[in-house]
Structure 1
Amino acid sequence: MNIPNTVTLFRFILIPIYLWIFFSEIPHRMEWAFFVLLLAGMTDVVDGYLARKNKQVTQLGIMLDPLADKLMMLAVFLSLLASQRISIPAALAIFLRDLGMIIASAFFHFQGKLTVPANLMGKLTTVLYYIALSLLMFDHPIGGEFLWGVIIFSFLTSFVYLFQFKQINQKIM
């Protein structure tokens, strides 16, 4: 297990910590929950940087990194849904898209297919989701509309990934 993959595994640990804080009664819980979310985002940048810099990009990391991102995002969006900060249709769209990406990635990985590493559109989608989350967590008036823009962009990004997946796996056949 290399350092970038260990940092990625740390992000999985942050998910229940975020949920515990979000649903707790501690003072400034939203600020603390947002801090955990930012920590997850920063460690995402760090693990990717370390993997590339130290030439430690692995198939395991390529699969675990987006899985950690997706599961954190799902946890955050489910907490926002439970606290009525986002609508059911928005949560359903996010959930279905991310669940589809997780299932497809795991399915193809275990079939020995190559998975597509994060690209610029995927990274931009993640940044935009973080912005939407911050707007929603702190009840900003444009949060809902901004979120729908990000959802649409995320579906476009998914289609790009599917196209790239098809391309890289046709090359190895």
Structure 2
Amino acid sequence: MNDKEHRNLERAGKADTDRILTIPNVLSFFRLALIPVIIVLYAKNEVWWAFGMLVLSGVTDVVDGWVARTYHMVSNFGKAIDPVADKLTQIAVLLCLMPMKCWWVVGILVLKEVSIGIMTLLTLHHTGMVYGAGWYGKLCTAVIYLSMFVLMLWRTAPDWFLYADAALCACLILLAFVKYAIRYGGILREARADGARKQA
């Protein structure tokens, strides 16, 4: 590969990271649009329809990541909007499914997402990059989705199951929070150190 081809490849790669209207991003917007649909269907006791929409939301989450990686449609906007769609879906559906005595799980999830969102914005400001999810975040998301599937279909779940499920979700949420805090803290320290070296 000559220098010209290398420069063209770099420009194409940078263009990809700046794109907004891509198939994965459209799927993320679709998941956002499904949130009120799921809530309304569940409120009307159309449980199976609500469950189907939730499964569709989960499937599109998997598909958009696969499409982005396979067809080189990974973008900074996609890295930002994908977790937003996931977390808003989780928060909205858990608010519908969790009884009052277990809503503290949703509170922990909200606090974690707000904190990580702030760290993500700080990292974007200092590095110009949006970093993808770690394995701990993906594990947390998978378990929460599984919990939502079970609770939506098992509406008469006993208290012991609700408390056990809430405790498991809370532990994974806290694990993800700690791991992301360490990760972004390290990135921010390195970025500030680089900035200080450049100014010296």
- TM-score, normalized by length of structure 1? 0.84
For residues 87 and 59 of structure 1, the distance between their equivalents in structure 2, rounded to whole angstroms, comes to 35
Structure 1 alignment gaps of length 5 or more: none
Partner of 1:167: 186
- TM-score, normalized by length of structure 2? 0.74
Change (3 A) 1:63 1:35: same
Residue deviations 1:4-57 (CA, integer Å, cap 9, x gap): 1111111111111111111124xxx12221211111111000000000001111
Pair 1:13 & 2:27 matched:
no
Partner of 1:34: 51
Determine what percentage of the aligned residue pairs are the same residue: 29
**CA deviation after TM superposition for structure 1 residue 130, in Å:** 1.2
Deviates more, 1:148-157 or 1:130-139: 130-139
Change (3 A) 1:85 1:22: farther
Structure 2 alignment gaps of length 5 or more: 1-20, 195-200
Q: Counterpart amino acid of 2:186?
A: Q
Partner of 1:129: 144
Q: 8 Å contact 2:102–2:162 — kept in the other structure?
A: no
Any idea what SS the aligned residue of 2:174 has?
helix
Aligned residues: 167
Q: Which has the higher helix share?
A: 2
User: What is the Cα-based RMSD across aligned positions, in Å?
Assistant: 2.2
Change (3 A) 1:52 1:157: same
Shift >6 Å, 4+ stretches: none
For residues 140 and 43 of structure 2, the distance between their equivalents in structure 1, rounded to whole angstroms, comes to 26
Q: Which has the larger radius of gyration?
A: 2
**CA deviation after TM superposition for structure 1 residue 170, in Å:** 4.4
